[in-house]
Structure 1
């Protein structure tokens, strides 16, 4: 996997540059303040960092774009992640950031807009920036465990442990949830009291609504009976009632139809009207006879509604359906509480079973980690000696944890001593900045011999060293770049000479503004640049000769 092209436009002091990297070891040099950190800052934005408007040049939109070519191995990892985020995939992945003068920023992957967390996730598989302050990562226990597991080939063991840990945590969560539910339940006696109220009253579906209609009818019973009687009289009055008049009309129509056949149809219709009127009269009289005005009935309905209204108010509902749902809910709560002990016992039994499986998986992880420690300690001490620490002592101690974490139930303590006769102490207590940089370099050197990592970008990791140590550090980076592309920003000629490609960052003054430019050096230009790094601004003949010797020593034909 490699970073092929980096394009930067209108960013900080850079007007427009395009860097075309190649496989192997790419070095970037330049005087302090020339703008090397701008290139690093641009790459940092592609890793998902938030942008600021102050980085804009000429009040124009800034664009930073990088093209990465993925190996087959890395493609298998990155492709599913991109598909998960609905991103088009190809063996070449293009990351781009655009920043407006107002400070608004947009991120793209393969020309598709993405949010910064997605860019951060994808970019983590493409490149790894190691700046001077990144040595703090050495103190991170997760990083230390990941190193031990990488050396121990613990991928399968980690997966088994992860599965056991997730199952164990699920049961722990279920127990907590169950206990919380019970603790948050209303007092069991109060639940029983509420249930008894419901069972005494036993509200029925749509009962309140039907009772309210009946109550309204009873409350208006006198007027109702009077109006119903009046309506009946319209039909049944002796001489002028509808029924009597229709009977007389029917008799007359029958008589006339015998004299004129054209009246037969009309006579039949009048007959039907008489039958219908008699039927209506019958129904009305039945309604009147069925209706019973009983003060006791009225009171009974009022009492029943009072009971229902109390339940409505108490449980803050406004329909019978909701009230019945509340009744069922209280029944379920009470049932759940009463079944709590049985359910808890089952979960606690499951927890012990899963803890046994988890403990076994954790023990296997710890054992495999312990096995690689002697080899790691020996390798670190041998390589640190090559980097100028004459009597290094590097130790790793595995300490137990009382609880289980997502990475096991142990944690490592990396210990170090640079001086003979002094016991190693935890890294964060004894190692200087220069020592930490060298320890980090050796760790990356070790891991890169075993695994294909993303493009590694070192920002002056060689600060504080010189001479033979610098030369050895350069050789180590050169060796690392055989399996993984590497970019190093450096002030050391011994490191720069190891590069397969050499870029120089310069600051140039225009008519109105100073710009940062980047140039890929030819062999002759490399000699001059290395000589300048050796002797300062004034390039001497001896510095030129020394620069040639440096390049010859690494096999570069000059």
Structure 2
């Protein structure tokens, strides 16, 4: 409930602070005194867009702050979802800066307007005669029926299952679309894959094959050079091995004569050992070298195949071709296994459909049971509100479609006159009748669910006498389970409030200001007497006012 409201530098309000209680609070004041300003400020708290023209002093910022007791509203999940800091005494603040920028805070944490609007809808319901379109919407009508049917938990379960069901349907649709496209590409992808599989690619083999090709393609020249190297090493007269052996023998004799030749002898001996090893390797290479035209043709063919594949797939190396092969294998495999995947997905959808049908039937049965109760209570209340012939025709038809709140199609018709035709609410009821119907519906709802604070803005326009007295009784009854505000011009309603506030204008330093004060008992007598008989209060008006208050 709303426990306090502070407004600074807004429209005709300089500074205002007021505390509110639970129960029924009455707000009165002369036409033009500023009740709309008060509602405008409250609307900013609920997420309405700000207007720079709202600033009283355009050089100062406007600040509107409201304190709510939300301990019984079960809003922790909403606070968590919107990343608000939860406090049982929650403070909402709006600031409009002279620059025109607007800021919003929940418990001192900045929030965006969409989140604020979501929270605001759970805290205050401002209702006027011009805001009855909600009553004519199927969504609101279902909310009323479901409140009486106690469908809250089962609807929550239904919506969770429906969310999963729709996600599965989307996945199936995407799978079918993918399958249709994949089938077109399957043959081509299979052809490409077979080419790559037959190529039997090995990472790094391109370089190895190119080296082997160069060897095989130049084998005569290589053989000639190896033979020449063999001769240079092994010739008995001038070969390198013969020369080094002769040199080694000479220095061996010298090292025996003097130690200063030992170092050179060792180096020559090491060179001879290394040269001997070179000779053996050259000899091995020469012996193993074979002219193999068949192998050359095989290597050449494999190289051409790899280069063609590189060009076809716009790849830079064999590693990329192997990656492409793996991707093609996955595509072909997925395509070939899609039927199984689709069948599995369809079975999941069938299972979820069965669950939804079961829950929908429960929702439907509860609604069928609740409709007569709702019809009886509404028609009874409307009799006391001056609509003795009001009748409702409410029917639900079980359909084949999963809607957001079940499978029911709703027929919610109304007739205001005896023997009159039933029609949609917006066609069958006048503005004043819609206001009384809305009051009746809110009254019924307040018995079944925890409603947010409700503010009736002159909902009693166009009624008087006993009907206004009954409207006041209904609001008073509602206030037993919720906080109710009524902005009214009718003394019969004003007298029923637990608290009474007056909106008034006053001129201070040649400036008109709007203010709001809480009236004590004596001030209420005066206010109600003036509502009865005007500013020139008669003794009878005062007596009547006291009688109404008692």
Q: TM-score band, normalised by the shorter chain?
A: 0.7 to 0.9
Q: Using the TM superposition, give the Cα deviation of residue 409 of structure 1 relative to its aligned residue in structure 2, in angstroms.
A: 0.5
2:9 aligned with 1:3: no
Match of residue 45 from structure 1? 44
2:127 aligned with 1:130: yes
* CA deviation vs aligned residue, 1:496-521 (integer Å, no higher than 9, x gap): 22222222222334446433222222
Partner SS state of residue 449, structure 1:
coil
Q: How far apart, in 2, do the equivalents of 1:319 and 1:112 lie?
A: 56
Match of residue 375 from structure 1? 373
Asked whether the equivalents of residues 221 and 293 of structure 1 are also in contact (C-alpha less than 8 Å), the reply is: no
Q: Using the TM superposition, give the Cα deviation of residue 395 of structure 1 relative to its aligned residue in structure 2, in angstroms.
A: 2.3
2:529 aligned with 1:531: yes
2:496 aligned with 1:460: no
Asked whether the equivalents of residues 5 and 19 of structure 1 are also in contact (C-alpha less than 8 Å), the reply is: yes
* CA deviation vs aligned residue, 1:353-397 (integer Å, no higher than 9, x gap): 433332222112111111111111110011011112121112211
2:464 aligned with 1:445: no
Change in Cα spacing, 1:477 to 1:249, as seen in structure 2 (3 Å) is: farther
* CA deviation vs aligned residue, 1:177-232 (integer Å, no higher than 9, x gap): 221111222513333333333334344334456556777x679969x969x98x97
Q: How far apart, in 1, do the equivalents of 2:246 and 2:129 lie?
A: 118
| Match 1:415 to one of 410, 413, 417 | 413
Unaligned runs of 5+ in 2: none
Match of residue 501 from structure 2? 503
Match of residue 16 from structure 2? 17
Q: How far apart, in 1, do the equivalents of 2:47 and 2:417 lie?
A: 41
| Match 2:166 to one of 165, 169, 177 | 169
2:158 aligned with 1:155: no
Asked whether the equivalents of residues 6 and 66 of structure 1 are also in contact (C-alpha less than 8 Å), the reply is: yes
Partner SS state of residue 476, structure 1:
helix
The equivalences for 1:92-103 within 5 A come to 92-103=89-100
Q: Using the TM superposition, give the Cα deviation of residue 274 of structure 1 relative to its aligned residue in structure 2, in angstroms.
A: 4.3
* CA deviation vs aligned residue, 1:86-112 (integer Å, no higher than 9, x gap): 443332111122222222222221112
Asked whether the equivalents of residues 8 and 64 of structure 1 are also in contact (C-alpha less than 8 Å), the reply is: yes
Change in Cα spacing, 1:451 to 1:264, as seen in structure 2 (3 Å) is: same
Q: How far apart, in 2, do the equivalents of 1:242 and 1:505 lie?
A: 122
Number of aligned residues: 547
Q: Using the TM superposition, give the Cα deviation of residue 4 of structure 1 relative to its aligned residue in structure 2, in angstroms.
A: 1.0
Match of residue 112 from structure 2? 115
Change in Cα spacing, 1:314 to 1:438, as seen in structure 2 (3 Å) is: farther
Partner SS state of residue 97, structure 1:
strand
Partner SS state of residue 115, structure 2:
helix
* CA deviation vs aligned residue, 1:434-483 (integer Å, no higher than 9, x gap): 11111111111111122222222222222332222222112211111111
Partner SS state of residue 94, structure 2:
strand
Asked whether the equivalents of residues 364 and 398 of structure 2 are also in contact (C-alpha less than 8 Å), the reply is: no
Match of residue 63 from structure 2? 63
Q: Using the TM superposition, give the Cα deviation of residue 120 of structure 1 relative to its aligned residue in structure 2, in angstroms.
A: 2.9
Match of residue 323 from structure 2? 325
Q: Using the TM superposition, give the Cα deviation of residue 319 of structure 1 relative to its aligned residue in structure 2, in angstroms.
A: 4.5
Q: How far apart, in 2, do the equivalents of 1:533 and 1:311 lie?
A: 96
Q: How far apart, in 1, do the equivalents of 2:233 and 2:442 lie?
A: 111
Partner SS state of residue 57, structure 1:
coil
Which segment drifts farther, 442-451 or 196-205? Answer: 196-205
Partner SS state of residue 41, structure 2:
helix
Q: How far apart, in 1, do the equivalents of 2:114 and 2:441 lie?
A: 28
Q: Using the TM superposition, give the Cα deviation of residue 145 of structure 1 relative to its aligned residue in structure 2, in angstroms.
A: 1.8
* CA deviation vs aligned residue, 1:210-265 (integer Å, no higher than 9, x gap): 556777x679969x969x98x979x9598999878866665555444434457656
Q: How far apart, in 1, do the equivalents of 2:65 and 2:313 lie?
A: 62
* CA deviation vs aligned residue, 1:154-195 (integer Å, no higher than 9, x gap): 234324434543454344334322211112225133333333
Match of residue 556 from structure 1? none
Q: How far apart, in 2, do the equivalents of 1:517 and 1:194 lie?
A: 83
Which segment drifts farther, 200-209 or 399-408? Answer: 200-209
Q: How far apart, in 1, do the equivalents of 2:489 and 2:512 lie?
A: 22
Change in Cα spacing, 1:330 to 1:391, as seen in structure 2 (3 Å) is: same
Partner SS state of residue 451, structure 2:
coil
Unaligned runs of 5+ in 1: 553-558
Q: How far apart, in 2, do the equivalents of 1:33 and 1:288 lie?
A: 116
The equivalences for 1:180-219 within 5 A come to 180-187=177-184, 188-208=186-206
Q: How far apart, in 2, do the equivalents of 1:218 and 1:38 lie?
A: 96
Q: How far apart, in 1, do the equivalents of 2:402 and 2:305 lie?
A: 56
Change in Cα spacing, 1:106 to 1:313, as seen in structure 2 (3 Å) is: farther
Q: Using the TM superposition, give the Cα deviation of residue 278 of structure 1 relative to its aligned residue in structure 2, in angstroms.
A: 4.7
TM-score (norm 2): 0.86
Change in Cα spacing, 1:536 to 1:254, as seen in structure 2 (3 Å) is: farther
Q: How far apart, in 1, do the equivalents of 2:80 and 2:494 lie?
A: 39
Match of residue 85 from structure 2? 88
Q: Using the TM superposition, give the Cα deviation of residue 137 of structure 1 relative to its aligned residue in structure 2, in angstroms.
A: 1.2
The equivalences for 1:194-343 within 5 A come to 194-208=192-206, 250-251=248-249, 254-261=252-259, 264=262, 267-269=265-267, 271-276=269-274, 278-279=276-277, 304-343=302-341
Asked whether the equivalents of residues 2 and 66 of structure 2 are also in contact (C-alpha less than 8 Å), the reply is: yes
TM-score (norm 1): 0.85
